[in-house]
Amino acid sequence: MGFSCGFIGLPNVGKSTLFNALTKAGAEAANFPFCTIEPNTGIVPVPDQRLAVLAKMHKSKKIVPAAMKFIDIAGLVGGASKGQGLGNKFLGHIRNVDAIAHVVRLFEDENVTHVSGKLDPVGDIETIITELALADLEILERRIAKTEKNTRTGDKEALKELVMLKEFYKNLSEGTNIDTSDPVIASFARELGLISTMPAFICANVDEKSIANINDIINIHPLGKLAAKHNMEIIPVCAKLEEEISQLHPEEAKEFMKEMSLSESGLSRVIKTGYRILNYITFLTTGEDETRAWTIAKGTFAPQAAGKIHTDMERGFIRMEVISYEDIIQCGGETEAKNNGKMRIEGKDYVVKDGDVVHVRFSV
């Protein structure tokens, strides 16, 4: 599995329509709040042209791409942190994903009602961010009370933890982001299950007329300033167009996108953004049986990457034979790359890179 991405947003902003388009999963999409109650799940292959090239070279019997799980989570309303709407159930579903896609609507449509009675994408995002922060503050309050008891015994680790907890609480109370650039702080925030610190981006749902010049619109739209404040990228998508694209043959879809001045599909943009904000990369294995893509975090060492293929490979890791995909292509094949000295023998300290084509040597 590549990663899981949860679509969240207020009711009737196009979450389920976009989910259906990207996954072809057929989730119900209707013009009333809480159409989605239990989260819909769809798994899609991660587009990677390198797989087909390697599979052809090695006459692989099958291709196994990395996969991405989309989760369409029920629409949120103000007061969710206190149980309004689907409240705690909604928040629980969010905590189970790797990244969050905030879906907002940027187009008027008299046939699609808005839960607040007017189109306000900035207000929509602010409502969601506020509810997530309030839910996190409750978690922090309980953890602070528990940790303060532990500090009375002179527990030094508890004292360090309390400092971080109070800093987290202060930031969220003041409406500022928790800085997770420090790996220790980021790890602690994940352990606490703080939704506010999860990687997130914005899916701006626009109409067909706007998609061609959407970058100009985003640059002057107040949503851009809000996104910058919260360190979120904006991915413009037209859920209606994506739905049409999803029903076409790949070649027809390519031609259709060209006519609409779209360089790539919304699915491709969402996946690329997800990988980027999560610092994920892909390494490859290839042979006669199969050519496969594997998703790992950037900075993963060779034994742990091998463990993605099979736990025995991590446990009995000896070495990793590595050739970059680019070298294989330039040399005209894996054998030719080896003959040109492009294969490297790497040990336990090697950090696997995107596009590495590997063969693991291990003992059972």
Which CATH number do you get for residue 99? 3.40.50.300
Residue 73 shares a structural domain with residue 115: yes
Looking at per-residue confidence, does 251 or 113 come out higher? 251
Q: How far apart are the C-alpha atoms of 138 and 161, rounded to whole Å?
A: 17
Asked whether residue 236 is assigned to any structural domain, the reply reads: yes
pLDDT of residue 265: 83
Of 247, 277, 307, the residue that ends a domain is 277
**pLDDT score for 90:** 61
Categorize the per-residue pLDDT at 290 as very low, low, confident or very high, splitting at 50, 70 and 90. very high
In the three-class reduction of DSSP (H, G, I as helix; E, B as strand; rest coil), residue 282 is classed as: strand
| Within a domain: 226 | yes
Whether residues 342 and 221 share a domain: the answer is no
How confident is residue 53, by pLDDT bands cut at 50, 70 and 90? very high
3-state secondary structure 306-350: HHHHCHHHHHCEEEEEEEEHHHHHHHCCHHHHHHCCCCEEECCCC
Same-domain check for residues 27 and 168: yes
Query: What pLDDT score was predicted for residue 307?
Result: 96
Do 32 and 25 contact (CB within 8 A), yes or no? no
> Between 117 and 287, whose confidence is greater?
287
The predicted model scores a pTM of 0.81
Residue 225 shares a structural domain with residue 98: yes
* Better pLDDT: 58 or 240: 58
CA dist 270 and 235 (Å) reads 7
Residue 94's pLDDT is: 79
Tell whether 287 is covered by a domain: no
Quick check: is 284 in a domain?
Answer: no
Considering the domain architecture, whether residues 303 and 198 belong to the same structural domain is answered as no
Query: Does residue 326 fall inside a structural domain?
Result: yes
CATH code at position 345: 3.10.20.30
| pLDDT of amino acid 351 | 98
- 115 and 263, same domain (yes or no): yes
Taking a C-beta distance cutoff of 8 angstroms, is the pair 105, 121 a contact?
Answer: yes
- Looking at residue 291, its pLDDT comes to 96
Query: What's the average model confidence in pLDDT over 297-313?
Result: 96
The whole-number pLDDT of residue 11 equals 79
Please determine, for residue 78, whether its predicted confidence score (pLDDT) is greater than 80.
no
291 domain-assigned: no
- The better pLDDT of the pair 248, 27 is held by 248
- Are residues 7 and 108 both part of a single domain? yes
Residue 93 domain-assigned?
A: yes
**342 and 235 together in one domain:** no
DSSP state of 38: S
Instruction: Say what the pLDDT of residue 86 is.
Output: 40
Model pLDDT, residue 25: 47
The predicted structure's pLDDT at residue 29: 38
Position 121 in a domain: yes
Which of 243, 277, 311 is where one domain is finished? 277
In the chain, the DSSP E strands lie at: 3-8, 40-45, 62-64, 67-72, 99-105, 200-205, 234-237, 280-286, 290-297, 317-324, 344-346, 356-362
Residues 214 and 308 in one domain: no
Q: Which of 141-155, 247-261, 272-286, 327-341 is predicted with the least confidence, judged by mean pLDDT? A: 247-261
Let me know if 189 is exposed, middle or buried by CB neighbors in 10 A (0-12, 13-18, 19+).
buried
The reply to whether 313 and 230 lie within a common domain is no
User: Do 237 and 318 belong to one domain?
Assistant: no
What is the token pair recorded at 85?
A: 């709407």
What total number of domains does the chain contain?
2
φ, ψ dihedrals at 154, nearest 5°:
85, 15
Q: What's residue 56's pLDDT?
A: 95
171-215 per-position pLDDT tens digit: 999 988 898 888 889 899 999 999 999 999 999 888 887 776 666
Per-residue pLDDT tens digits for 115-132 = 666 788 898 899 888 888
Give the pLDDT band of residue 75 (cuts 50, 70, 90).
low
Domain end, chosen from 224, 244, 277, is at: 277
Residue 87 is part of which domain span? Answer: 3-277
Asked if pLDDT for residue 41 goes beyond 50, the answer is yes
| Closest among 36, 151, 154 to 85, alpha carbons compared | 36
What does the mean pLDDT of the chain come to? 85
Both 221 and 325 in one domain: the answer is no
pLDDT at position 324 over 80: yes
Confidence of residue 27 (pLDDT cuts 50, 70, 90): very low
Which tops the pLDDT comparison, 70 or 361? 361
Which is more confidently placed, 130 or 2?
130
Q: Give me the residue label for tokens 């506010």.
A: 196
